[in-house]
């Protein structure tokens, strides 16, 4: 083999080496992109499920809180009614005591 043939073979081998390097890099990058895309899709699905569960949990909690607040409002209304009744009883008791004091002692309160 003479010198020009050696240089030709070196050039062919170098070109083949760079070609294989380019091919492997391209294939590797495509595989990486596909894997990243699949991970992204899985994460979107998982986050979508979590979002749905969270929203349904919040909806349930809102419903329960509204029910509890409704019950508390009802009990508060009953308590107000009982306090009004108690207030009227105390007022009538006060009038009765004033009448007894006037009758018993003949003293009028100012």
Interval 53-105: pLDDT, tens: 999 999 999 999 999 999 999 999 999 999 999 999 998 998 888 888 888 88
| Integer Cα distance of 96 and 92 in angstroms | 6
- pLDDT digits over 11-47, tens only? 999 999 999 999 999 999 999 999 999 999 999 999 9
Determine contact, residues 61/67, Cβ cutoff 8 Å. Answer: no
CA–CA separation, 22 vs 33, rounded Å? 16
Share of the chain above pLDDT 90, in %: 82
CA 73 to chain centre: 27
Task: Enter the tokens of residue 8.
Answer: 């030709």
């Amino acid at each position: 083999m003479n010198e020009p043939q050696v240089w030709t073979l070196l050039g062919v081998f170098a070109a083949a080496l760079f070609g294989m390097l380019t091919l492997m890099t391209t294939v590797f990058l495509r595989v990486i992109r596909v894997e990243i895309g699949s991970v992204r899709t899985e994460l979107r699905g998982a986050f979508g499920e979590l979002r749905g569960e969270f929203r349904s949990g919040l909806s349930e909690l809102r419903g329960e809180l509204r029910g509890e607040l409704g019950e508390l409002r009802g009990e508060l209304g009953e308590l107000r009614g009982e306090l009004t009744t108690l207030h009227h009883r105390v007022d009538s008791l006060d009038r009765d005591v004033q009448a007894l004091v006037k009758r018993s002692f003949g003293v009028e309160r100012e």
